[in-house]
Every structure is written in structure tokens, then in C-alpha cells.
Structure 1
Amino acid sequence: MAIVRYRPWSEMNSLQRQFNQMFNEVLTPTTFTEFGNFSKIPAAELVENKDYLVLKLEVPGMQAEDLNIEATAKSISVSGERKSEANEGSKTVSEFRYGSFQRVIPLPVRIQNTEVKAQYHNGILHLTLPKAEVEKNKVVKVNLVTETAV
């Protein structure tokens, strides 16, 4: 009969190695493309001022004409496509994000969608969104009709 040394922690060490390997694979930037559109959604920042909202989106490596911006009174939609500059058939390693994207951002207040201003500079899209005029709280006299007894 062979004598085998009992190692109570060997299975725990194996499990720890597997967890480390799993997290290293998930956190490697090149594997974010496996999550699909998650990596293609541009980051956004929304700031509210007294008279307007300022919306900034990160869309690096694009031209202004590659962006499509649509505004409604309650949301902004930004879409576009970043095309790869690599030649067909050439082998490259790239962690850049290519392809199309779309981001719809609901707004906290109504805006004047016909007055939206947009600028694109250094990979950041700046949108100035004027707030809609809020109707003043008017006091209206309501006529009360009384029933007459028959």
C-alpha cells in the first residue's frame, strides 16, 4: 500500500488559481470586445445649469460628419460609426473600438430641441441644450354651476 501525504489546502489553492486566472482574463482590455456593445457605448457627462443643460460624450477618433445627433424635448440620441484604417488582409493587434454605436440619453427636464448647439473638439462632443420655457403657474377662475331645485 502506497502512502499518500494529505494536503488539506491543495484544493483551495487550485480554486484560488482558477479564480485569479478568470479575473485576469476578464479584466484584460482586449476581452472587453467579448461583451459586445458594452465597450462601444460612449461615456457621457450631463451638467444642469439655470437656463440650459450641457451634455458631453467621449467619441474619440471620429470626424464630426461621422456623428448623427437627434434631439427631442426629453432625450438626445447620438449615433455614429468608427471605421478601421487597417488594410484588408493585414494582421494587426488593436485594442481600439471600431464599429457603430448608438446612445440615447433621457434628459431630466424638457429642452428646446430646435435650439440645440453642438461642437466636436479633441474627441469630445459638446451639446448645449437650452431648457424649455416652463409655463407659469396661472390661477384660473373656475365657474361653478349650481343645480336649481325643480
Structure 2
Amino acid sequence: MALIRWEPFREIDSLQREMNRLFDTLTPTADGRTNGVAFIPAAEMQETPEAIHLKLEVPGLEAKDLDVQVTAEAVAISGERRSETKTDENGMVRSEFRYGKFQRVIPLPGRVQNNQVQAEYKDGILQLRLPKAEEEKNRVVKVNLG
């Protein structure tokens, strides 16, 4: 039978990593409390030579609940989620409410023409087409190798 040396500080370090991982997933709610997980919409960005395409997943919202603001360097999306589910089974009523504001600012990899943004909202997916500014399309950067 082999003896294994116990190192308590290694156990504490492992516990600290696990706690850090847990708290990295928690973000403050709209009113500043941290006892819940705030809604942060998932985003996907794709860049083409002509435009930047941005997709955001905002299920359960209507277009009127979203506020999208575009500057030359960033996109800010905010809104308020309000949902209620109510079931009535065998005389028992169960009701659940979920409310909360969210905001996400996404920096863009290049300048865009913010007055020509095209948006589409369908089935909980917000799609933005952000045409690049002319100086970004034609920009060539010389790299000095010496």
C-alpha cells in the first residue's frame, strides 16, 4: 500500500478555482443585486469585405421591446424582458413571472456607416447588417519588416 502525501493548500487552491468559475457565470442584475443571473443575449459576429453581420439571440421579446443604437465603432442593444406563464390544473393555479432589463454594448472591429444599418427581427433573432465605411473597405496598411 502506497502512502500519498496530503497537501491541504492544493485542496484550497482547487476550491478557489471552482468558486471563481461559479462567480464568473453570475453577473449583477438590473437593479445592482448579484443574487441572480442577468440576461445577456448571445451574439455572433461575421465580417465580410463589405459589411459586418451581427446576430443576437433575444428570445421572448418583441421588436418594440428592443432599443438598438449604432455608432461608428459599436452597437448598443438594450431592452426589457417581461414574461408570465400561468397554468391552471385541477383547481391549482401556478404563475411565474420573469422581468429584467438588459444592455449589451458590442465593439465593432472597424468603422461602419451607422446611417445605413439594416435590421431584421424574426423568431427571437435580431440580425444587423452594418455596412463598412468607405475608408475601412479601401484601407491598406503597409507593414514595415525592417
Give the equivalent residue in structure 2 for 1:64.
63
Give the equivalent residue in structure 2 for 1:147.
none
Give the equivalent residue in structure 2 for 1:127.
128
Aligned pairs (5 A) from 1:39-78? 39-78=38-77
Aligned pairs (5 A) from 1:78-89? 78-86=77-85
Which amino acid letter does the alignment assign opposite residue 48 of structure 2? Answer: N
State the Cα RMSD in Å: 3.3
Q: Deviations over 1:107-129 (max 9, x none)?
A: 00000000001111111100000
Give the equivalent residue in structure 1 for 2:28.
36
DSSP-derived class of the 1:73 partner: coil
Equivalenced residue count is 111
DSSP-derived class of the 1:50 partner: coil
DSSP-derived class of the 2:28 partner: helix
The Cα shift of 1:39 comes to 3.6
Output the CA distance in 2 between the equivalents of 1:98 and 1:57.
19
Output the CA distance in 1 between the equivalents of 2:28 and 2:124.
22
More helix by share: 1
Output the CA distance in 1 between the equivalents of 2:109 and 2:99.
31
1:112 matches 2:113: yes
Output the CA distance in 1 between the equivalents of 2:28 and 2:121.
26
More strand by share: 2
The Cα shift of 1:41 comes to 1.0
User: Which of the two has higher C-alpha Rg?
Assistant: 1
Output the CA distance in 2 between the equivalents of 1:80 and 1:105.
15
Question: Which runs of 5 or more residues in structure 2 are unaligned?
Answer: 1-5, 30-36, 87-93, 140-146
Percent identity over the alignment? 49
The Cα shift of 1:91 comes to 4.9
Output the CA distance in 2 between the equivalents of 1:124 and 1:101.
16
Provide the TM-score with structure 1 as the length reference.
0.61
Output the CA distance in 2 between the equivalents of 1:101 and 1:45.
17
Question: Which runs of 5 or more residues in structure 1 are unaligned?
Answer: 1-8, 27-31, 138-150
Give the equivalent residue in structure 1 for 2:32.
none
